[in-house]
Chains A and B, each alone.
Chain A
Amino acid sequence: MKKIFSHPRSLRKVTTHYCPGCGHGIAHRLISEVVDELGIREKTIGVAPVGCAVVAYDYWDFDCSEAAHGRALAVATAIKRVKPKTIVFTYQGDGDLAAIGTNETIHAANRGENLTVIFINNAVYGMTGGQMAPTTLVGQKTATTPKGREVKGQGYPLKISEMLKVLPGVKYLERVSLHSPQEILKAKAAIKQAFLNQIQGKGFSLVEIISPCPTYWGMSPRQSLNWIKEVMLKEFPLGRIK
């Protein structure tokens, strides 16, 4: 009997702290599978954010650095510049990458840093208890938008991937989703492309992953996947952005 789906080497066999049905576990696994398939585990350095994935380094079995909230791309820039032979990626949530770290994101992208960015968009701040994120949908209820996000005063969901498209330093942008096995396989292909781009020295690559947060969406894991498909993807359409 042949094992056709196994636990990736680059992912430690430990129980994560994530809630049942959380997308982070899937995204962690996809990165691990890609790192294994490309045979780069010993030269990979992950930069973990502040947010729910703050201890991602406890789950991945390769070198990692923490970064202060929003500063992952500053930390990653320096790592890649001083160790150009390593493969460096950041793993950041919507608050980290698109709110407190917007400056670092835009400038690392504009410098065309040869980095891979995995951007988890779940439209909410998870770690701090479900507050509004820059990507929260209009009308979406969160701890800090008890009546739902209102355009007046709270603005629109920030589409950072579309914003980055105009920067010449950015080589690859794709938005993928984790709401079904088929979409997860597409997400993996995009992650692999973003790592391959770095290996080939092409420049800044970012994969935006629409990921479920059942806990702070107030839904069951299955309902949250349906909500992505039926609601969230209308605001954040999938596919290659650049």
Chain B
Amino acid sequence: MINNLKRVLMTGNEAIAEGAIQAGCGFYAGYPITPQNELIAYMAAHLADSGGVFIQAESELAAINMVFGASACGVRAMTSSSSPGISLKQEGISYIAGAQLPAVIVNVMRGGPGLGNIWPSQADYFQATRGGGHGDYRSIVLAPSTVQECYECMPLAFSLADQYRMPAIILSDGMLGQMMEPVLMRSHKPLAISHKPKWALGNSKGRSPNVAKSFYLREGDLEKVNLLLQKKYKTIEAKEQRYQGQYLDDAKVVLVAYGTMARIIKSITHKLRGQGKKVGLLRPITLWPFPVQAFERLALGKMAKKFLVVEMSAGQMLEDVKLVINGRSAVGFLGRLGGGMPSEEEIIKNITSLL
């Protein structure tokens, strides 16, 4: 673990790993895949020094199921991978959601479908925000857009996972994972929630046995569990929306982007503002729960606004924006696929046509 209150130059992947260690991650299992390899290597080098357990698993399936086992013992547990590997992990994520265990899963997205390529992409938005595996479940999805945020989002992800007993996904991408930026190390105090849960497996002296499971065969039992999950998701939707807004008060065109894409949009917004053009940025930080409250405020505001969603996908977050705007404003879209990224010129051209 790096000493606190220092500025350290590191990649997004390393920042996630360091953030996790400082957040009290006690278990990591992973399998190599590009472009997330710096993360597993960082964990291999540093997790044990902080008392955690590192395992290079035989597959992504084994890794996520190891996370299940560690989490069932009340230990903060995580895994990381990139898109094809995350597809494999969906089995375990569904079981973790069903058994109501906390866990953090990092997806450093690359181009798909299939083996795709190793370029940055945002095409796993649906998979992350809609559940991804089988059954009616959700994961909390956080989307950092700077290396500093990669580091900061880990304590938050573990806290939310612990608090709600469910998977939390970090949706990064190959660009953010590989780029280096200085990271200000903060003094992450041990996470506020004491993590000695009553449900954890281990020493059963003086209590009845605990069981970690997602199997409910008796008629009606599984529906009850599902209703409980849905109630939990409603609470999260009400309480845990996060976003960053810039120049929203008087913006005529609101640009919507997350992660790596939001970095580019942010600099374009500054540039256009400098030219007196009324553009603003709405950057969702939680992709689920989607920050609908922020969009509602904009849709209900006096200023007539148009929205332009920019993604490295065929328009996945676009659907969430359209759902909340619900026809009240124009929603435009600009996207590039398969590892491509919209250029600044392209974006500005699209914005200008809306102004």
Residues of A participating in the B interface, judged by any CB pair closer than 8 Å: 41-43, 45, 47, 54-55, 57, 60-68, 71, 74-79, 81-83, 85-86, 103-104, 106-107
What are 8 A-B pairs with beta-carbon distances under 8 A?
A57-B211, A61-B209, A65-B68, A65-B69, A68-B68, A74-B63, A78-B68, A104-B62
* A62 pairs with B209, CB closer than 8 A: yes
What separation, in Å, do the CA atoms of A47 and B62 have in the docked complex? 15
Q: Which of B190-243 contact A (CB under 8 A)?
A: 201-205, 209-215, 217
Partner of B66, one of A42, A63, A74: A74
Using CB atoms and an 8 Å cutoff, list the residues of chain B in contact with chain A. Answer: 26-27, 29, 53, 55, 57-59, 61-63, 65-70, 72-73, 75, 77, 91-92, 95, 99, 201-205, 209-215, 217
Question: How far, in whole Å, are A71 and B59 apart by their CA atoms in the complex?
Answer: 11
The residue on B at minimum CB distance from A12 is: B209
Determine whether the beta carbon of A81 is less than 8 Å from that of B27.
yes
User: For residue B91, which residues in chain A have a CB less than 8 angstroms away from its CB?
Assistant: 68
Let me know if A63 and B59 touch, CB within 8 A.
no
The answer to whether B215 and A64 touch across the interface, beta carbons within 8 angstroms, is no
Other-chain contact of A74, B53, B61, B212 (Cβ < 8 Å): B61
Are the C-beta atoms of B58 and A79 separated by less than 8 Å?
A: no
Distance of A75 Cα from B29 Cα, bound (Å): 11
Q: How far is the CB of B48 from chain A (nearest CB, A)?
A: 11
Inside 8 A of A83's CB, which chain B residues have their CB? 73, 201-202
Who on chain B is nearest to A57 by CB? B211
Quick one: closest A residue to B54, CB to CB? A81
**Residue from the list B26, B77, B205, B212 in contact with A66, Cβ < 8 A:** B212
Q: How far, in Å, is A177 (CB) from chain B's closest CB? A: 29
* Residue pair B27, A45 in contact (C-beta under 8 Å): no
Query: Using Cβ atoms and an 8 Å threshold, which residues of chain B touch A62?
Result: 204, 209
Query: How far is B29's CA from A54's CA once the two chains are assembled, in angstroms?
Result: 25
Q: Determine if A78 and B205 form an interchain contact, defined as CB atoms under 8 angstroms apart.
A: no
Q: Is the CB of B201 within 8 A of A107?
A: no
- A67 nearest CB neighbor, chain B only: B65
Closest 7 CB pairs between A and B?
Answer: A78-B69, A75-B69, A71-B65, A107-B58, A74-B65, A78-B66, A66-B213
Q: Is B72 within 8 A of A79, CB to CB?
A: yes
Q: Compute how far the CA of A41 lies from the CA of B206 in the bound complex, rounded to whole angstroms.
A: 12
Instruction: Give complex CA distance A81, B52 in Å.
Output: 10
| Given contact pairs A41-B204, A43-B204, a sample of 10 additional A-B residue pairs in the complex whose CB atoms are under 8 Å apart | A47-B69, A64-B212, A66-B99, A66-B213, A75-B72, A79-B72, A81-B70, A83-B201, A103-B62, A107-B57
Contact B202 A78 (CB under 8 A): no
Chain B residues near A67 (CB-CB < 8 A)? 65, 68-69
A68 touches B92 (CB 8 A): yes
Once bound together, how far apart are the Cα atoms of A28 and B92, in whole Å? 26
The docked-state distance in angstroms from the alpha carbon of A106 to that of B62 is: 12
Residue of B nearest to A80 (CB): B69
Q: A74, B73: Cβ atoms under 8 Å?
A: no
B345 → A minimal CB distance (Å): 48
Known contacts: A45-B201, A75-B65. The answer to whether A81 contacts B209 by CB under 8 A is no
Q: Are B65 and A79 in contact (CB under 8 A)?
A: no
Cα A63 to Cα B209 with chains together (Å): 5
Question: Given A45, A64, A78, which contacts B29 in the complex, CB threshold below 8 Å?
Answer: A78
CA distance A54 to B213 in the complex (A): 10
Find out whether the CB atom of A74 lies under 8 angstroms from the CB atom of B69: yes
Most chain B beta-carbon neighbours within 10 Å: one of A42, A74, A103, A106? A74
Identify which of B27, B62, B203, B215 contacts A82 (C-beta below 8 A). Answer: B27
CB of A75 within 8 A of CB of B202, answer no
In the complex, the answer to whether A45 meets B215 with C-beta atoms within 8 Å is no
Instruction: Evaluate contact between A63 and B210: CB separation under 8 angstroms.
Output: yes
Residue in A closest to B92 when the chains form the complex, CB atoms? A68
**CB <8 Å contact, A103 and B58:** yes
Measured in the bound complex, the distance between the Cα atoms of B69 and A81 in whole Å is 10
Residue of A54, A55, A66 with highest tally of chain B CB at under 10 A:
A66
Q: Point out the residues of chain A lying under 8 angstroms from B75, CB to CB.
A: 82
Please state if A63 and B211 are interface contacts (CB–CB under 8 Å).
Answer: yes
B203 engages A43 (CB within 8 Å): yes
Most buried by B among A42, A43, A54, A83: A83
In the complex, chain B residues whose CB is within 8 Å of the CB of A71: 61-62, 65, 68, 92
B167–chain A nearest beta-carbon distance, Å = 14
Q: Are A65 and B95 interface neighbours, CB within 8 A?
A: no
B61: chain A residues at CB < 8 Å are 71, 74, 103-104
Which of B55, B95, B209 is in CB contact (< 8 Å) with A78?
B55
B125 to chain A, nearest CB (A): 25
| Complex contact A77–B202 (CB within 8 A) | no
The residues of B that contact A63 with a CB separation of less than 8 Å are 201-202, 204, 209-211
- Complex CA–CA separation, A83 to B73 (angstroms): 7
Least CB distance from B78 to A in Å reads 12
A75 to B95: give the CA distance in the assembly, Å.
Answer: 12
Point out the residues of chain A lying under 8 angstroms from B55, CB to CB.
77-78, 81
Which partner residue on chain B sits nearest A104 by CB separation?
Answer: B62
Closest residue of chain A to B205 (Cβ to Cβ) is: A42
- Return the chain A residue nearest B68 by Cβ: A75
Residues of A within 8 A of B77 (CB): 78, 82
